[in-house]
Amino acid sequence: MNFPIRDILASTRPIELALVLLDGFALMSYAAFVEPFRAANALAGRELYRWHHVSLDGAPVQASNGAAFLVDHGLGAPVGAGVVIVFAGGDPRHIAAPGLSAWLRRQDRAGKLVAGVSAGPYLLARAGLLDGRRATIHWDHRDAFEEDFPQVAHEEALYVIDGRWMTCAGGMAGMDLAASLIARDSNADLAARVGDWFIHPEPRPADGPQRQGIRERYRVAGERVLTALAAMEEHLDEPLPREDLASVAGTTVRQLERLFAREVGEGVAAHYLRLRLDRAAHLLRTTGTPVTQIALACGFRASSHFSSAFRARFGVAPSKARGLGWAPREAGAGHADDRPGAIPPHAIGTRDRQEQTD
């Protein structure tokens, strides 16, 4: 839905933003969203936008890089702002935010614009604000989001504006959303000048991709290999035989094996297994799906085969990996010399999932 913010806020100036910060919020996502409004004020020569910071209890909040942020007040204080934005980071299922859901519902009933950035959309959905609405979230939280909130129409997008509700994938997508809002509220010229200010002259469209394309991720140029890789990624639950992959790529099995050895660094079957196991590891880390269902979703018909393959790849059983908070190397980021086995040191001591009560 296209609308200027001022239509909802009755043309009030300056427009006030309440920035709700939760411990561990992604600093990049915060800065990318907020800084364009500061630049808009400077370039316009007057205060178009004003903001204040809110934490759960009014205490300072620690950002993802460890920096401490002072806030203006907690959830208990009156909120005059017409726009509320929730910033969160890390695994949203582990975020304990007492009172936040009820507070967000009150802001929603008051007719305010409500937004979530990075892991923030998960908290909006947990409060029931996104039921029956379109929304997006950072790709790393997609599976948990879709599993926990099937009533929300998830979209793979940089940001989604659905009436008074806005969701943003985070990272640099916050700047794209901010530019769009400034253009709608003020004018396209000011938004363009803000983009130039931040060396971001071409804001991306809302439905732009969150991640690199397959060519960039794998850093391979051969069209036949890229076609086979795309087919693999599309058929993780029902792995295609090598003959089918070769047919899709327009070559023979023998030639496809040669191309993979040269451009990917390992054989077709070995790489296909790597993709399926990496997908399984991601699902174990980010969802509560039972191990047996994850095995099936990643093309393993026998749990014993899945368990042995997973242990050989990562050095830990699937049932033990769930609470360790680790992540495999991103698909396409490395070749066959990745060492299977050891759980990364940063995984030790990561807390298990908490029950959410608010």
Please check the confidence at residue 344 and state whether its pLDDT lies above 90. Answer: no
CA atoms within 13 A on the CB side of 21: 30
pLDDT for residue 219: 87
Domain boundaries defined on the chain: 5-197, 214-344
pLDDT for residue 306: 96
Please check the confidence at residue 341 and state whether its pLDDT lies above 60. Answer: no
The CA distances from residue 43 to 39, 184, 193, 252, 285, in Å, are 6, 16, 8, 60, 44
271 and 260 in contact (C-beta within 8 Å)?
yes
Please check the confidence at residue 178 and state whether its pLDDT lies above 60. Answer: yes
The CA distances from residue 138 to 47, 135, 301, in Å, are 31, 11, 30
CATH architecture designation of domain 5-197 = 3-Layer(aba) Sandwich (3.40)
Poorest-pLDDT segment among 11-20, 186-195, 225-234, 269-278: 11-20
* H/E run at residue 83: strand 83-88
With pLDDT > 90 as the criterion, what percentage of the chain qualifies?
A: 76
Looking at residues 156-173, what average pLDDT do you find?
96
> Over the chain, what is the mean pLDDT?
87
Select the more confidently predicted residue: 143 or 175: 175
Select the more confidently predicted residue: 55 or 5: 55
pLDDT for residue 351: 28
Summarised one tens digit per residue, pLDDT across range 73-90 is 999 999 999 999 999 998
Summarised one tens digit per residue, pLDDT across range 247-287 is 999 999 999 999 999 999 999 999 999 999 999 998 898 88
213 and 187 in contact (C-beta within 8 Å)?
no
Domain 214-344 part of CATH 3.40.50.2300: no
pLDDT for residue 10: 52
Pairing of strands 15-21, 83-88: parallel
Summarised one tens digit per residue, pLDDT across range 286-337 is 888 899 999 999 999 999 999 999 999 999 999 888 755 555 544 444 433 3
pLDDT for residue 3: 54
